[in-house]
Amino acid sequence: MSLTLLFAAGPGTSEEYHAPLSEALRAAGLEARIVTEAAPEDVDYILYAPASPLQDFSPYTRTKAVLSLWAGVERIVTNPTLTQPLARMVDPSLTRGMVEYVCGHVLRYHLGMDAHIQAAPGDWRPVEPPLAPERLVGVMGLGALGRACAEALRDSGFAVSGWAANPKEIAGVTCHHGPEGMQSLLQGTEILVTLLPHTQATESILNAGTLATLPRGACLINPGRGALIDDDALLAALENGQIGHATLDVFRTEPLPADHPYWHHPRVTVTPHIAATTRAASASRSLAENIARVEAGLPLLHEVPRVRGY
């Protein structure tokens, strides 16, 4: 029997996915039609991104699962009409992209590359950084993306610490948890990477108090969520030198408004939410695998616990 997959995402997304998803479904032994419109009672699965106008899930009584095209699910998980199981996107290519972004910017800060890039012609000023084992890098958030980044930084030789809400163990990474653990992580971090989900508990987790706990001149890389940062507090910390530089990929409002102070600050690098994009080919394989599991009576992969919210 053919399955009906409702593609509920932004304009153009379904066209991008149609061919690779069709191929992945066939490879998984599934017969399915991919549509952008269907009667709710006919829909077996919803493939969802927050740009979709779909906000009321209550008519979709037959739907077996909602599969997010994004790693972040905070914009859907609290929807009171969503009673179907929800799975977040975990995709090897997305993870690889995040690892490359984080490692690239950590190395940039570690080596002091901005000083060379911005140097005036004729300004021959060698910078001798410490070696990687002497550089203290902290990763806030040790889920799939944070763990992968922490492990890659460890494998590059950096002294890596991590923090999560609950205890974690990663070989070669000093792991902290809880409020006291956060204090310890921040006090010993020269380059901080934030990869936490956005929840009530993590809203503005980087604020005047936590930023002041970092060593003076520390650098910040945020490819996680814009709402993790109190923007006013970060701008103040940049102005007074507490934070030496910030590389920001995510923001409370996207696209970042043209008049936002981040665009014009000399110690801020803005990137347009490029750290970990969902790539249609590999994401399609992940979607097909999850659908095949449900059809075989197996548990959904990467199901989001509603109480936790991520």
Residues labelled as active-site residues: 225, 273
Report the distance separating Cα 310 and Cα 305, nearest Å.
7
Contacts of 92 by beta carbon, 8 Å cutoff, 6+ apart: 282
For residue 138, list its beta bridge partners. Answer: 161, 192
CB 65 within 8 A of CB 85: yes
Do you know the residue count of the chain? 310
For 284, list phi and psi in degrees, rounded to 5.
-60, -40
Residue 213 three-state SS = helix
Residue 181's H or E segment, with its range, is: helix 178-187
Distance CA(192)–CA(188), nearest Å, equals 10
